[in-house]
Chain A
Amino acid sequence: MTHDEKPSRPQRSYPAVYEKLIPIALALIALATLAALGFAVAVATGFLP
């Protein structure tokens, strides 16, 4: 067996549904956090009542 033929370490992965959903959920949470912070700043500066 040559070096190239060495079996590579098996790639770990989550079930397919989580592979798709988790990055979307994390991105949405990050966006929502920015929106909440933006709202807080808008209220604090008097831009919103």
Chain B
Amino acid sequence: MTTVLTFLPFASSLISFVFAALVFRRYLARRRPYLLLWGIGMTMYGIGGFCEGYYGAFGWNPLTFRLWYLFGAMLVAAWLGQGTAYLLIRRRWVHGLMLVLAVASLYGAVRVFTAQLDPAAMGSSLHTGSELSGRAIVSGGVRTLTPFFNLYGTAFLVGGAVYSAWIFWRKRILLHRVIGNVLIATGALLPAFGGSFSRLGIGGALYISELLGAILLFLGFLRATTPLPQESAQK
């Protein structure tokens, strides 16, 4: 189990960093804000996975925990979702949301890096402590922030992908974008479910779902940005 709890997060971290590098390269060529935000979001995903793997391999470290909680648990979904927001919302509004997210993220970072930690608190009747858990944060008011970031991120990332897929499906156009968006929505949902199962004491659920989530997000992005052969032939 320990090997699994080390290997899986390192694998999802590697996939996330490769994905982020691809997205950043595309951003440099096209300068679209959503690509920059997805690149940042996938870098956060990669940092989260790396910290989980580090914990599995070398054990507790306060800095690793804080980096994991900030990037892997608190901010990743919100920054990926903000990228989707740039695709769907008018510029003036989305810049305002971006400002709010940036300030809230800075506040979250300060709270996470000044919080009191107790690694023993990660073990409970349901949670074995073999996986990282926000329970290690003893200070009040820090973990309360996380659902707000995650709800915001999930609403835009999953909601935006489903909305786009629905629009294209209704018009029967751009099949590759429909498939890509279905994969992105599924990939974004998986870690949320993994977190829920982990909370209910199912060992390994979080790390497996994060790995599958990273793979599906990557495949979804590739599919959404690459027309199918028959679509290209129709042009």
Contacts and interface: CB of A to CB of B under 8 A. Distances in A.
12 contacts: A13-B172, A18-B179, A22-B178, A25-B186, A26-B162, A26-B182, A30-B162, A32-B189, A32-B193, A33-B154, A36-B189, A44-B147
A22 B192 contact: no
Interface string B143-187: 000010011001000110010011001011101001100100110
Given A25-B186, A26-B169, A29-B185, 19 more contacts: A12-B172, A13-B172, A14-B172, A14-B178, A15-B175, A22-B169, A22-B178, A25-B182, A26-B162, A29-B158, A29-B162, A29-B182, A29-B186, A33-B154, A36-B189, A36-B193, A37-B151, A40-B147, A49-B199
Contacts of B147: 40, 44
B126 A26 contact: no
B175 A18 contact: yes
Interface residues of A, number: 21
Interface in A9-29: 12-15, 18, 22-23, 25-26, 29
Contacts of B125: 49
A26 B165 contact: yes
B196 interface: yes
Contacts, number: 61
Nearest to A38: B196
A29 B199 contact: no
A25 to B, nearest CB: 5
Nearest to B191: A36
Nearest to A39: B196
A23 to B, nearest CB: 7
A48 interface: yes
